[in-house]
Amino acid sequence: MTIEALNVLDPKSLISTFGVIGVYAIIFIELAVIVGFFLPGDSLLFIAGIAASGAANTIVGTHLNFAALLVGTPIVAIVGSQIGHYTGAKFGRRLFDKPDSRFFKRKYSVRAEFYFNKYGGPKAVVVSRFIVGVRTFVNPLAGMLDMTARSFFLWSSIGNIFWVELMLVLGYELGDKVKGSIDSVILPIALVVAVITLIPLALEMLKERNAAKRGEETDLQIFEREQEWHYQQRIATGEAVAVTGVSPAGARHRK
């Protein structure tokens, strides 16, 4: 294996190169540090499930221990999430007050905060596991917004176990039913992962489209605009502290 042969955004490449340890590492990084938002957590878990099935060698080119995935991956996800919560509690708003870069996108932190306000801490932590990008930022955000470590641990454990086990089992079941190369299952894999992870975003986009037709803004758009204004104000004044209170857009949904 050469460095050039490894693509960290390609689940099959990661699994073929590092096996179960690679799955653990990527899931941990995605949930523990905000620069991990771009990592392919959903598809990685799905392909890992296939790699543990009877069609593993044919489809993925390697075989993983299903028990190790089912037991170890949720634990890694929970630990990574808890570390993310700790960093948010320790560093606060300044963790998110930085310009966009290849490894950081402010829009995901803003959306994570919106969903946290809208659904309340427990539900937001669970639901975010299935929202690409947002799940990475919800962990430190929960710490920043003073969700207790004990409460976060409870709801993060529920969300991570459900998310991880569902994706693994779906991949495992599909792998046992499909014969052939990875090319023959790429479409169903893409469809299943997309349906599970993109529904929340699709619903929000539908709301935005309907609001645009009425000449209005959605609560998310209002919240994003408000947060961008606050961010620019903090940059202008050299502040790196949280804005006091919850914005009107967030307050309407705060539970």
Per-residue pLDDT tens digits for 210-229: 766 777 777 878 888 888 88
pLDDT at 70 > cutoff 90: yes
| Res 65: pLDDT | 96
Q: What pLDDT band is residue 230 in, cutting at 50, 70 and 90?
A: confident
Which residue, 155, 160, 131, 161, is CA-closest to 142? Answer: 155
| Res 251: pLDDT | 41
Q: Which SS3 state, helix, strand or coil, does residue 248 take?
A: helix
* Greater pLDDT, 118 or 155: 155
| Res 110: pLDDT | 87
> Lowest-confidence range among 10-14, 15-19, 230-234, 244-248?
244-248
Sequence spans of domains, the chain: 7-197
Give the burial class of 90: count Cβ atoms within 10 A of its Cβ; 0-12 exposed, 13-18 middle, 19 or more buried. exposed
Most confidently predicted of 36-50, 76-90, 176-190, 207-221: 76-90
| Res 255: pLDDT | 41
Kindly report, residue by residue over 106-133, the tens digit of the pLDDT: 888 888 888 888 878 898 899 888 887 7
pLDDT mean across residues, the chain? 80
Q: What pLDDT band is residue 195 in, cutting at 50, 70 and 90?
A: low
Kindly report, residue by residue over 71-106, the tens digit of the pLDDT: 999 999 999 999 999 999 998 888 888 787 777 778
Q: Which residues of 120-151 are buried (b: 16+ CB within 10 A; e: fewer)?
A: ebbebbbbbbbbbbbbbbbbbbbbbbebeeee
> Lowest-confidence range among 87-91, 186-190, 195-199?
186-190
Which residue, 225, 221, 197, 226, is CA-closest to 210? Answer: 221
Q: What is the DSSP string of 142-154?
A: HHHTT--HHHHHH
Which residue, 242, 196, 226, is CA-closest to 93? Answer: 242
The share of the chain scoring above pLDDT 90, in percent, equals 29
